[in-house]
């Protein structure tokens, strides 16, 4: 089974120049907990979660309208291709301890989001082997990990 057979389509995203306020509005409007962040070419450069947003604003006592999404990006974006096998996407989720992946098309643009919940709902109905892989993925994802925030200098906060 392919990612494109399971993923959610019609995805909203934010640019690196958008504020966390806009990202929060997208999450509220779409009733979701993640927003892909794209560059000027519409290529995924990161995924912003509701948890990331809360920690960035609350932990630093900052206004969401004053913080750009790019400030929360760290490392390379973890994505999958819409044509990837679901099992390969689950392997990637386990490796990087993430619950959702942006799915990209042949042109590299966002075409959907695959969540472990989407796969679980399918597995419960259809496939015992897939069910075991989903369980292993959930176990890996929920393994505790440290919270790391990028330090922001006073000059960055005031600019």
CATH number where 128 lies: 3.10.580.10
Contact 87, 129 (CB under 8 A): no
Is residue 156 included in any domain, yes or no?
Answer: no
Is residue 106 included in any domain, yes or no?
Answer: yes
Is residue 29 included in any domain, yes or no?
Answer: yes
Is residue 150 included in any domain, yes or no?
Answer: no
Q: What are the pLDDT digits (tens) for 29-85?
A: 998 889 999 998 889 999 999 988 988 888 888 899 999 999 888 878 899 999 999
Domain count along the chain:
1
Is residue 48 included in any domain, yes or no?
Answer: yes
Beta strands in the chain (DSSP E): 14-15, 34-38, 44-49, 79-81, 100-104, 110-115
Range(s) of the domain holding residue 124: 3-145
Higher pLDDT, 151 or 76: 76
């Amino acid at each position: 089974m392919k990612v494109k057979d399971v993923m959610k389509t019609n995805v909203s995203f934010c640019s690196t120049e958008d504020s966390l306020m806009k990202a929060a509005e997208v999450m509220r409007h779409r009733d979701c907990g993640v927003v892909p962040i794209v560059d000027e070419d519409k290529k995924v450069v990161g995924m912003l979660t509701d948890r990331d947003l809360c920690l960035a604003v609350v932990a630093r006592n900052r206004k969401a309208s004053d913080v750009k999404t790019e400030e929360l990006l760290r490392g390379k974006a973890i994505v999958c291709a819409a044509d990837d096998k679901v099992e390969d996407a689950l392997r990637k989720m386990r490796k990087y301890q993430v619950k959702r992946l942006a799915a990209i098309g042949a042109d590299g643009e966002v075409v959907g989001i695959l969540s472990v919940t989407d796969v679980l709902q399918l597995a419960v109905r259809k496939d015992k082997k897939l069910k075991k892989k989903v369980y292993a993925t959930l176990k890996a994802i929920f393994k505790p990990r440290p919270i790391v925030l990028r330090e922001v200098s006073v000059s960055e906060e005031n600019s």
